Amino acid sequence: MFLAILKRLLMLVPVLIGITLISFLLLQIMPGDPASRAMGSRASAEDLQAMRELWGLDKPIWVQYFYFLRDCVTGSFGVSIFHKQPIITLVADRLPYTLAIVLYSTVIALVIALPFAILAAANRGRFLDVAIRQIFVVLIALPPFWLCYVLILWLALNLGMFPTGGVGTGFFANLYRLFLPSLVVGLSTAALIQQSLRAALIDAMKADYVDTARAKGLRGYEVFLRHILPNSLISTISIIGVRVSWIIGGTVVVEKIFSVPGLGSLLIDSIVSRDLPVIRGLTVFFAVMVVTVNLIADICYALADPRIRLE
């Protein structure tokens, strides 16, 4: 197990080199001059030139790329032109909020999806099943930004139950303040999990080993909890894994609307200010997170299903 994980981590190296190359080259294509953005429109030509030299923007592309690689390897991921801080520091400040939304929304999604998946599977083909499916299909289809504003208008402004945005200090303050943004992300995740878990449950209910379990005289809930549910959750693990790695990059809109100072907000701000090192650094960082989440999902999968071994 340990060796397999180590092997997987080593396989990351070529992936990461590829990601740095792509993120670097793509940003070279992006129009806009970082120096003039940072200095303002009234800066003199000399000042702009000095700025470009300072940040190495006058060097050939391949030299810039190696600077970037060096920064990635040394762990700073470069220095922000706008914030004048190592990117790793910026990330460290903001990562907790993004991670909080990722985890919080996944928990919310599971809490919503689990009972409805069970309810739908138990009533498959009947009205309840169809109704639940329709509602969750709508949830998938709703654009998150719209949902954000509806929730803000309704729960925050009209009913005053939640703040319209921002974060607090301490675990419980943020549990409260991050609820709406996490709910928005969690609802569409819930819809995905509900659909896949419902299908997995229906499959498992037909499985021969369920008949075996019933033939032993087990009660309905025993058959469900010991035999049907564990086997259905296995296929859901991979869905959750894929979804979580999507959320990591997908919180951008939600963070912006709810004024959460997470990685998504940082990314948007950096794009607006043409803060190339930050965009590049974040791209690499997101990639690392996605790959890590997939690895964790694979480990969970291997732990849940004895037939699967990490290779």
Residues of this chain that bind another protein (CB under 8 A): 205-220, 222, 226-227, 230-231, 234, 304-307
Cβ distance to another protein smaller for residue 182 or 236 = 236
Q: 276-291 burial, b if ≥16 CB within 10 A, otherwise e?
A: bbbbbbbbbbbbebbb
Reference 32, options 71, 81, 77, 78; nearest CA is 81
- CB closer to another protein out of 58 and 222: 222
Assess contact for 178 and 101: CB atoms under 8 A. Answer: yes
Tokens of 54: 């300072």
Secondary structure (DSSP) of 163-186: -SS---SSHHHHHHHTHHHHHHHH
Pick 197 or 205: Cβ nearer another protein: 205
Q: How far is the CB of 107 from another protein (least distance, A)?
A: 23
Q: Kindly list the distances between the CA atom of residue 273 and the CA atoms of 35, 83, 301, 310, in Å, as whole numbers in the listed order.
A: 10, 11, 41, 43
Q: How far is the CB of 301 from another protein (least distance, A)?
A: 12
Work out how close the CB of 113 gets to another protein at its nearest, in angstroms, rounded to a whole number: 20
| Shortest distance, position 201 Cβ to another protein, whole Å | 11
Contact present, 34 and 276 (Cβ < 8 Å): yes
Q: At closest approach, how far in Å is the CB of 305 from another protein?
A: 6
- Our CB check for another protein shows the closer of 46 and 311 to be 311
- Taking the least distance from each CB to another protein, the nearer of 15 and 303 is 303
